[in-house]
A and B are shown apart, each in its own frame.
Chain A
Amino acid sequence: MSTRIVVDPVTRIEGHLRIEADIENGKIKDAYSSGTMVRLLEEILRGRDPRDAWAYVGRVCGVCTSVHSLTSVRCVEDALDIVIPPNAEMVRNIMFCAQYMHDHVVHFYHLHAMDWVDVVNALKADPKKTSELAQSISNWPKSSPGYFSDLQKRITKFVESGQLGIFSNGYWGHSAYKLPAEVNLIGLAHYLEALEWQKEIVKVHTIFGGKNPHPNYLVGGMACAISTDDVSGLNAERLAYVGQLLQQGKEFIEQVYIPDLMAIASFYKDWGAIGGGLGNYMSYGDLPWNGYRDTSSYKFPQGAILNKDISKVYDVDLRKEDEVQEFIDNSWYEYKGKGGLHPWKGESKIKYTGPKPPFENLDTTKAYSYLKTPRWKGNAMEVGPLARVLVGYARGKEEFKMVVDKALKDLNVPVTALFSTLGRTAARGLESTLVAQWGLDFYHQLIDNIKKGDTRMADSSKRNPEKWPDKALGVGHSEAPRGALAHWINIEDEKIANYQLVVPTTWNASPRDGKGQVSAYEAALRDTPIADPKQPVEILRTVHSFDPCLACAVHLYDEEGKHISRISVLGD
């Protein structure tokens, strides 16, 4: 018997992604991932001033906002041959680190934890035992029996009111939940603490970028002038506050996020063999210690891994026309020619051939997505935390080896457990600890540089378009929290002639290519066991492990395509 499951947007305005999956013999036989919303910033940017592009592309998303702006200014700086001053590089890096800490913690607690933590079961926990357990895994001060007992009372009141609110979409009591009640209560307590914490770390963006979301960037540097004794500039007091925020962020990650992640993971080791998918991983690299052009100084190294073979890492070159290409065999677009296009020659002409909405099912034998299908040298690649951690590990970087080997040892699982849903979720936590430390390192680097008397924050020598070449090509890349991100630009006569974004979710969530090769989501969902098709919490675990950049709902259908039930899926 085959059951059709559909993951589709549920928000009040049209969402982004839909997944249709066939279940057979308790496992997913095949899955189709479809983007049902057109973004097309590429068309909005055409003809505009390249110096303004960052402000438009930042609006791709309110969560990943900062990284799109960062990628955009890097891309224009590449085209115009601008090298930004060290201070600007460090400020960008510090903002990047703050973004990671915020994004990964929010993902873990608010978008993913409830796939593993049973909220209702937490009501059965013994506060005293919970306190003992919490104190045995961490030094975090909020861990007294009274603390947990107060929280439990508030949740009980909340649940008894019949208004589950934020938790109303869970499969509470499902047999796939394996945590003891005490671990569930700790998870829930930290869900709420993380909520309070997240509003602090984003202040780093407001200090350097003026506001959040959508902080200000600048082609040539950053728009925050250093003036250590001016009340309105980036003064000593504000810089000290940034240091304090980064320190607090690091403490939360080390004392709350990581102990919780490890405690939860230890009960779900079977997920170290589920949801692996492609086995191909790619990172563009990021966090330059010695300038963006010196790729060898990147904290996150660049590289590609094929077929889970971590003994070999391939170099990735975004300029080479035969490396990154986008195909449209199963996408609602048309190209002038055939085959794949390198983004410098990219086209974004829409040709919708799908069913007229509202519809029950997509015809997945034809084009079924607004996402194009990117390939690296013809290969489908997974991008994101797992790809970054594997590339760092495979490149033999000491910091990566240390955190990965320790986690594998603590959980007592083999290195192959990394290629999984659990591996993806763990990698996000592991890189968070690295990034939390690097954020402080970049902060001290910045302070030292200012102390040496260097207060330059921007190179404005190319501000005037009269100094630009008639034609220029540029590419900028970054490692967004969700994975490798790049923008390609063609500048002609001082205006944007073409602009292409290839975003992490396009790599991971794209439809299959002309050869039938599936992308990361579709690959990872295959063979995922589903204990109860009416409550497919297992699907949520794997989809959420990618940190999908979308809001969606799971609809269940029987073999006739009849609607059985529907649940919301939290994404961001």
Chain B
Amino acid sequence: MEERLLIMGVGNYLMGDEGVGVHAAQKLMSSGLPGYVDVVDGGTGGFHLLEYFEKYPRVILVDATLDGQKAGTIRLIKPRFASDFPKSMSTHDIGLKDMMSSLQLLDKIPEIYLFVVSIEYIQQQGVEMTEEVEAAMPELLNKVTELAVRLSPETATVTSR
């Protein structure tokens, strides 16, 4: 089977800028990405997402972060440990970080590229994002798409599982 690439946006869609990863995933689903790419709206699911991380050898994650940077700042991280991930989005506290720890212990962690978008508030409710974060969306989509194109199956160095 051709090696597939997963793009997953995570966050809480109902919490404004918090949901930037989900907003991005929804836009990417209809943006004509290469055939080897699958896009998933991961929402606030923690352990529910485990199967995706076991199935795909390479994953691009998109998430919001409260890192004190200007809202809309985009960074690409290659996380090595669970603590490199933004804090859990979910009120259920088995979040993404816990899942990453577990994958590491299971020795099943895929190659992860993590895009984080800086946000300033977490308490805003609603499906609309602030102007600052909304303005960063085109750049975010471009960067994710560029990386996805770059990570074509021919470039895979790790063996498929």
Residues of A near any B CB (own CB < 8 A): 9-16, 37, 61-63, 106, 110-111, 154-155, 158, 161, 163, 165-167, 192, 195-196, 198-199, 202, 212-213, 550-551, 568, 570-572
Contact = CB atoms under 8 A, between A and B. Distances in A.
Given A62-B45, A192-B106, A13 B15 contact: yes
B97 A12 contact: no
B50 A166 contact: no
Nearest to B49: A199
Interface in B74-113: 81-83, 87-95, 97-98, 100-102, 104-107
A551 B93 contact: yes
B40 interface: no
A163 B44 CA distance: 23
Contacts of A106: 47
Nearest to B108: A196
A550 B45 CA distance: 15
Residue from A11, A111, A213 whose CB has the most chain B CB atoms within 10 Å? A11
A195 B44 contact: no
A212 B82 CA distance: 25
Given A13-B123, A195-B47, A213-B48, 11 more contacts: A9-B91, A13-B89, A62-B45, A110-B94, A158-B105, A165-B82, A165-B101, A166-B102, A198-B47, A572-B93, A572-B94
Given A165-B100, A166-B82, A62 B105 contact: no
15 contacts: A11-B91, A12-B122, A13-B123, A62-B44, A110-B94, A161-B81, A163-B82, A165-B82, A165-B101, A166-B82, A166-B105, A199-B47, A212-B48, A568-B93, A571-B93
A44 B44 CA distance: 21
B154 interface: no
Contacts of B44: 62
Given A11-B88, A195-B47, A195-B106, A163 B83 contact: yes
B18 interface: yes
Interface string B41-64: 000110110110000000000000
B91 A13 contact: yes
Main secondary structure of the interface of A (DSSP, over half): loop
B92 A13 contact: no
B81 A195 contact: no
Interface residues of B, number: 33
Interface in B13-56: 15, 18, 44-45, 47-48, 50-51
B145 interface: no
B12 interface: yes
Residue from A10, A62, A106, A550 whose CB has the most chain B CB atoms within 10 Å? A62
Nearest to B104: A158
A125 B45 CA distance: 34
A489 to B, nearest CB: 25
B151 interface: no
Nearest to A571: B93
B66 interface: yes
Contact of B45 (A163, A165, A213): A213
B91 A551 contact: yes
Contacts of A165: 81-83, 97-98, 100-101, 104
B82 A12 contact: no
Contacts of A199: 47-48, 50-51
Given A166-B82, A213-B45, A195 B91 contact: no
Given A163-B81, A163-B83, A166-B82, A11 B93 contact: yes
A64 B17 CA distance: 27
A16 to B, nearest CB: 7
A106 B123 CA distance: 29
A126 to B, nearest CB: 20
Nearest to A213: B48
- List the 3 closest pairs (A to B, CB-CB), nearest first: A165-B101, A166-B101, A551-B93
A10 B87 CA distance: 10
Residue from A10, A13, A111 whose CB has the most chain B CB atoms within 10 Å? A13
A572 B90 CA distance: 10
A550 B93 CA distance: 8
B91 A15 contact: yes
Contacts of A161: 81
Contacts of A111: 94
A448 to B, nearest CB: 32
Nearest to B82: A165
A62 B90 CA distance: 10
A166 B99 CA distance: 8
B83 A11 contact: no
B90 A11 contact: yes
A64 B100 CA distance: 23
A97 B122 CA distance: 37
Contacts of A571: 93
A475 B154 CA distance: 59
Contacts of B105: 154-155, 158, 166, 192
Given A154-B107, A163-B83, A195-B47, A16 B101 contact: no
Contacts of A158: 101, 104-105
Nearest to A110: B94
Contact of A62 (B51, B92, B107, B122): B92
Nearest to B81: A163
A294 B122 CA distance: 48
A142 to B, nearest CB: 13
Nearest to A11: B91
Interface string B121-134: 01100000000000
